[in-house]
Amino acid sequence: MTLPKEIMMPNDNPYALHKVKVLKVYDLTEKEKLFLFRFEDPKLAETWTFKPGQFVQLTIPGVGEVPISICSSPMRKGFFELCIRRAGRVTTVVHKLKPGDTVLVRGPYGNGFPVDEWEGMDLLLIAAGLGTAPLRSVFLYAMDNRWKYGNITFINTARYGKDLLFYKELEAMKDLAEAENVKIIQSVTRDPEWPGLHGRPQQFIVEANTNPKNTAVAICGPPRMYKAVFEALINYGYRPENIYVTLERRMKCGIGKCGHCNVGTSTSWKYICKDGPVFTYFDIVSTPGLLD
């Protein structure tokens, strides 16, 4: 008897669950932790990969599952990192995990950023709040493949200094980054005690070391930031066709079956988990409700 393909080849089965072990847990902020996972199956560890911008469904048996963007570089085989905010029942349990614990994942899902198409271009990454996590994957991938890209600027912002994700990591990279034509800008918007830069992400676009005519822009943050960032980018000459946004909101099943994240109209219908979570500027402006 011939077994169905999804049983013979579980990696091709979108519902297949894979066992992963927690190797390390880092406290990033009061609400966010960084988890380093390793696949238990050695063969899967060698073959499993993803594109920057894709996500996985993290499952805690008996509790539930949550979609989380991968925040590490796909160049690190067998391992991956997730930055997880404690925001509900499942993530509260996840935050109690310790090294040596095992959980389940399925995926990766979504389209990811077109990093292959960006080769030869400058990169401008604009993040706010938890949006830093998925863009960290793009940044680390670009650093792992530095020769493929031109100048790089990473603008990382948060309301308060204590909420700046990966602040210490990015600060530690600054000297080496500048030698590689990589500029790192970190700022806060509501923290009068912060000794560093103050300002919203769009205010620092003018300081980027990128050529607006040949730059791929990746943005992630709260919906309220996008309009101002879009306007600033276009005013500075960045091409709308090279602007990309990744959205994490409202995703649930990860494969477009539950309908939880569908938006738009009958003529412009999108599933954030399946058609995204990475969208172009033109997707955003032509699809009602995509940023709601």
**Residues contributing to the annotated binding site for [2Fe-2S] cluster:** 253, 258, 261, 273
SS3 40: coil
Residues whose CB is less than 8 angstroms from the CB of residue 54 and which lie 6 or more positions away in sequence, other chains included? 69, 70, 107, 108, 109, 110, 111, 112
Binding-site residue numbers are 253, 258, 261, 273
Count CB neighbours of 236 within 10 A.
15
Place of tokens 């925040």: 71
Torsion 173-184-239-127 (CA) sign: positive
Distance CA 82, CA 36 (A): 7
Contact between 121 and 215 (Cβ < 8 Å)? yes
Token representation of residue 199: 């300002």
